[in-house]
Amino acid sequence: MPGSAVAEIRRVRPIQPCSIQLEPTPSFSRRLDTLEFIRLEWTVRPLRLKEPFVIARARVHDVTTVFVRVGHDGIVGYGEARPAAYLGEDLSRVLTGLETVAAEGLLGTDPYDLPRIHDRLAGHGVAHPARAGLDAALHDLAGRRSKTPVYRLLRLGRGRLRSMRTVSLGDPDTMARQAEAMPRYAPLKVKLGGGDGLDGHRLAAVRAAGPHRLCVDANGAWSLDEALDLLPALRERGVWMVEQPLAPGDPAGPSLRARCRLPVVLDEECRDASDLPRARERGHGVNVKIGKCGGLLPALRMIRRARELGLRVMLGCHLETGLGIGAAAHLTALADAADLDGNLLLAADPWIGPLWRRGRQLPRRAPGLGVRPRRTWA
């Protein structure tokens, strides 16, 4: 399987003056008459974690990601296409999608017409992580072209939400030590769903470790009875939110929503905006990830629709580098909660990502995504 590839899509007709088309409409416009081609490259990179990352469905020591670079008229933009095997979109599917983009010329001749590009990507079945990497790279390109940070390009504020820090699933003492090592101001996402009857003890140990604000995430491992049995302990320990308590599609979802006094936020069973009407019947909010829904533009659409339906919004991430986290950071002004610590779990991050300031992933004020490779991008 190739580790890198290059494609050049040559212009076949004059390009008319246009502006990048995003939602909401950004303040960026320029003539494109002199542009001759689009250059698309990607490279595969393995990433080691500082410590094993353990959740109900997996124990992870390392991950593989894909970096995407789009060049246009002497300017380049970067994005991350992190495979998500749990969604059926593994590395092979991501690379196949990028190869399709190159072979079919799906970026077209106008890299700033993102709605049309997304329509073409969806029509050819390009994997969501590949779409996300391309989308981020095109946003980065547009911001660099206009010398504007992406959050300003989107007419958003510079969000200042504190990001949750993750406490991996383990025995109660190990989880308590993880929590003790976190700054006291950091909200914690506590991974539960051990299937051994110890989740209550795990939560008690983490609670005793400090005054952190707590969210718990079972990654779909609980049954309805387990969830209901744990609810009193969750409230007693000051938990403010429960993420994906039941497996995606569990018919007990609406029943739990009706009986749970804590907000239930859905992750694995809510990929994009099309899932939101059903999500409203099963939870109180959704975890929006640009790598899951297909990029910044789909995330904006998803957040807008979630608000229309009265749903809360968490902005989340996968285990990814500062490149992927740096893209998501530009949307934090739109969220109720943020879980953007994926790059902090890596042994070495090849990207200089967003500013990490007292628990906040702040988008940089530099043009585009504001991120850059530490050495060579590949």
Radius of gyration for the alpha carbons in the chain, expressed in angstroms and rounded: 21
Count Cβ atoms below 10 Å from residue 141 Cβ, excluding itself: 26
Q: Are strands 75-80 and 58-72 parallel, antiparallel or unpaired?
A: antiparallel
As a 3-state breakdown, the chain gives helix, strand, coil percent values, each rounded to 5, of 35, 25, 40
DSSP helix/strand/coil, 164: coil
Q: Which amino acid is at 269?
A: E
Residues carrying an active site annotation? 191, 289
Q: Which amino acid is at 343?
A: N
User: Binding site annotation covers 267?
Assistant: yes
216 neighbors 247 (Cβ within 8 angstroms): no
Nearby residues of 261 by Cβ (< 8 Å), 6 or more positions away: 231, 235
**How far is CA 61 from its chain centroid?**
20
Crossing angle of helices 114-123/91-104, nearest 10°? 120
User: Binding site annotation covers 243?
Assistant: yes
User: Binding site annotation covers 180?
Assistant: no
Tokens for 274, please give them. 């099309």
Beta-ladder partners of 287: 314
Q: Which amino acid is at 143?
A: G
DSSP letter at 14 equals: P
DSSP letter at 154 equals: T
266 neighbors 282 (Cβ within 8 angstroms): yes
DSSP helix/strand/coil, 360: strand
Crossing angle of helices 199-208/224-236, nearest 10°? 20
Q: Which residues are annotated as a binding site?
A: 217, 243, 267
Q: Which residues are annotated as a binding site for Mg(2+)?
A: 217, 243, 267
